[in-house]
Structure 1
Amino acid sequence: MTDRRTELADNLARVEERISTACAKAGRKREEVTLIVVTKTYPASDVRLLAELGVRHVAENRDQDAAPKAAQCSDLPLIWHFVGQLQTNKVRSVVNYADVVQSVDRPKLVTALSKEAVRAGRELGCLVQVALDAEPGDGRETGDRGGVTPAGVAALADTIANAEGLRLDGLMTVAPLVGPYAGRQRAAFERLMEISSGLRANHPAANMVSAGMSADLDEAVAAGATHVRVGTAVLGVRPQLG
């Protein structure tokens, strides 16, 4: 366990240096960017070590893995983010532990989240997931990796903002693998910032912009992201899921 703690501490230090360097280059203050460690496929023991090392935000993408892990770590001062594509039949479970759902991409999901948040007596933070592989003109409403098209952001954001038990926190995206921004992470994240600027005109408090992962967090910070979601660079190469 001591060796694992040292490994995680070293990895966190390297990621911290990357974020700090990216902030300095962009003329931003380090405290403007929050690190979320994506702990999917890794055990609760790693989450505990991360908490000991000062991590406060963790993320999961599969409820069947996240729910028991969150329960085992319920005594820790952590903020849990759900970042995976979320089916409505998993909403009740997710609302029990998640503080923020970053992958809201359709009105039906908003309705389900609102119902369960009210039932649980919780206020749940929500991000609109934006699909940048589905720009105007290609006839799609959603992207290959989930998310709503840029044209659909405003309406979905209004739906969240008006839903009982939910709080509209901002936007999230995953760098697209296809479409006009494929291989152009910096441009994709800059496009997300443009969409965020439009959103904040009507919802000033929705200023969270979650973008960037292990491979492209530097580009995300340069573009203006407020939160980066880092897994592999902290925890190592993930074991294959069965």
Structure 2
Amino acid sequence: MNRRDELAANLADVRGRIDRACAAAGRDSAEVTLLAVTKTFPAADVALLADLGLTEFAENRDQEAGAKVAEFAALRPGAAVRWHMVGSLQRNKARSVVGWADQVDSVDSERLADALARASGEHPLDVLIQVSVDGDPKRGGHPLPDLPRLADHVARKGELVLRGVMTVAPLGMSPQQAFDALHGAVTRLRDDHPDANVISAGMSGDLEDAISCGSTCVRVGTALLGSRRLASP
């Protein structure tokens, strides 16, 4: 099986899982975005996935992503895709990241929001607040109880557009518990920020649980692309 056929089969399987999870939750599968996490995979794989109809791609390392985005643009000139930064981000990388990312999904502090606002220039940058459901500082993310304060801070930045929240289910908590907690917090958040309607939750192993709890975006890497490999130079 060639690589395109392999990716097509994986994509069909993932889309089937999303469709079944949405049906079980009484939701329309059109409500759920499939975000392909392409970290460590070459731009050639991104090009094939774009050929297969995917339009949203995510990276977690600025240095790798910048080169990959440029290589993809050369492979598929004019392709209408969006790039997300989903990894932990240091403030001194903000200017570099806004050079290639259409959206930063890992805003976890006021200082990072400020740095991204300063770096974004004339075009407002879409952002998600990364939430820590269990409050463990080692895992990254903003503590859930303090979400409203950070959301208000981001919303006051004219250079940023608050689109919603992102989380990763903690290892010591069931995905269902984690995503339930997030959904409750986002429901309250929308009272003050009605346009912050993105819930990015769920990955290859737990996307069904996330969809059952209202996720509008699942981040899938392994189930689409297989085991991690080295990116192209």
* Fold similarity call, TM over 0.5: yes
Counterpart in 2 of 1:60? 59
1:102 offset after TM fit, Å? 0.6
Paired residues of 2:41 and 2:230 also in contact (CA < 8 A): no
- Whether 1:129 and 2:130 are equivalent positions in the alignment is yes
Find the aligned partners of 2:165 and 2:137 in 1 and give their Cα distance: 15
Paired residues of 1:127 and 1:169 also in contact (CA < 8 A): yes
Find the aligned partners of 1:46 and 1:234 in 2 and give their Cα distance: 10
What secondary structure is seen at the aligned counterpart in 2 of 1:73? Answer: helix
2:209 aligned residue (206, 219, 231): 219
1:171 aligned residue (140, 165, 168): 165
Identity rate of aligned residues, in percent? Answer: 50
Find the aligned partners of 1:58 and 1:145 in 2 and give their Cα distance: 22
Counterpart in 2 of 1:106? 109
Find the aligned partners of 1:23 and 1:206 in 2 and give their Cα distance: 21
The structure whose RCO (Cα within 8 Å, separation 6+) is larger is: 2
Paired residues of 2:109 and 2:142 also in contact (CA < 8 A): yes
Find the aligned partners of 2:81 and 2:204 in 1 and give their Cα distance: 21
- Whether 1:35 and 2:34 are equivalent positions in the alignment is yes
Counterpart in 1 of 2:44? 45
Counterpart in 1 of 2:197? 207
Find the aligned partners of 1:27 and 1:97 in 2 and give their Cα distance: 36
1:89 offset after TM fit, Å? 1.3
Counterpart in 2 of 1:91? 94
Corresponding pairs, count: 227
Question: Which segments of 5 or more consecutive residues in structure 1 lack a partner in the other structure?
Answer: 135-141
Counterpart in 2 of 1:197? 187
Amino acid at match of 1:30: S
Q: CA RMSD in A?
A: 1.3
Find the aligned partners of 2:56 and 2:134 in 1 and give their Cα distance: 27
Paired residues of 1:133 and 1:177 also in contact (CA < 8 A): no
Q: For residues 38-57 of structure 1, what are the alpha-carbon distances to aligned partners after superposition, in whole Å with 9 as ceiling and x for unaligned?
A: 00000000000000000000
Amino acid at match of 1:4: R
Structure 1 outlier segments of 4+, above 4 Å: none
